[in-house]
Amino acid sequence: MTTVLGVDACPAGWVAVELRDGRFAAAQHVTALRSLLPGAAGAVVVAVDMPLGLLDSGWRRADTEAAGVLGPLRSSVFRVPPRAVWQEECYEVASRRCRELTGAGLSRQSWGLVAKLREAGACLTEPEGGRLFEAHAEVSFWALAGGTPLLHRKKSWAGQAARRSLLAEAAGIVLPDDLGDAGRVPPDDVLDAAAVAWTAYRIARGRARSLPDPPQHDRDGRPVAIWY
């Protein structure tokens, strides 16, 4: 049996959807990503909807290519600046550093990821870090839809209905109405976790692709890519 996890950040921590042989098995909510991994010892792949690979200079090709395939939803992809930017302690200094390294400033929306991005990056150095792969839910949904961007945003009624149906009909991932504690998480975050769980299963089976292909690599040789 192949067990994988898809994980998405949510306002009160992280939400994870577990698949076994590609089918829904469980969902859980945790406050810290590090606390999730030891209990997921049976998962061969953990896909996380959060930037994991950072470059030393310039913008990541992964984000440019992901925005390129998403059409009207391209704004859901934030450009991820170099490593040094995320090491700053305040937005104003980080934005100046970003301009020095890339020629452009840093959006406040991107800086809003800083705490979760650092948390996820720290997990890469843990013993379980080799199981972590970066995914992006909208790219996963794009792939599930046969390379067609979805028309409605994920927080809308139409968008959530379309995503839940796509998971069930194209991937066989049927999300139950009762998710226990995870049911308190915003529905778009649960749907995102399920979408990247689908990507995790593709990675585990050797069927996933990446943006870019081949990936860039960070200073430690780890791939800098969005998998789908």
Which CATH superfamily groups domain 3-53+128-210?
Ribonuclease H-like superfamily/Ribonuclease H (3.30.420.10)
Residue 218 identity: D
Residue 182 identity: A
| Cα–Cα distance, 141 to 148 (Å, whole number) | 9
Concatenate the DSSP letters of all residues of 125-166 into one string. Answer: TSGGGGGEEEB-HHHHHHHHTTS---SS-TTSHHHHHHHHHH
Question: pLDDT by residue for the chain (228 residues), tens digit each?
Answer: 999 999 999 999 999 999 999 999 999 999 999 998 887 779 999 999 999 999 999 999 999 999 999 999 999 999 999 999 999 999 999 999 999 999 999 999 999 999 999 999 999 988 888 999 999 999 999 999 999 989 999 999 999 999 999 999 999 999 999 999 999 999 999 999 999 999 999 999 999 999 999 999 999 999 999 999
CA terminus-to-terminus distance, the chain: 21
Q: Tell me the torsion sign for CA atoms 141, 122, 45, 226.
A: positive
Q: What pLDDT, on the 0 to 100 scale, is given for residue 126?
A: 84
The upper half-sphere exposure of residue 177, i.e. CA atoms within 13 Å in the direction of its Cβ, equals 0
| 221 alpha carbon, distance to own chain's centre | 20
Q: What are phi and psi of 103, to 5 degrees?
A: 90, 0
Domain boundaries in the chain? 3-53+128-210
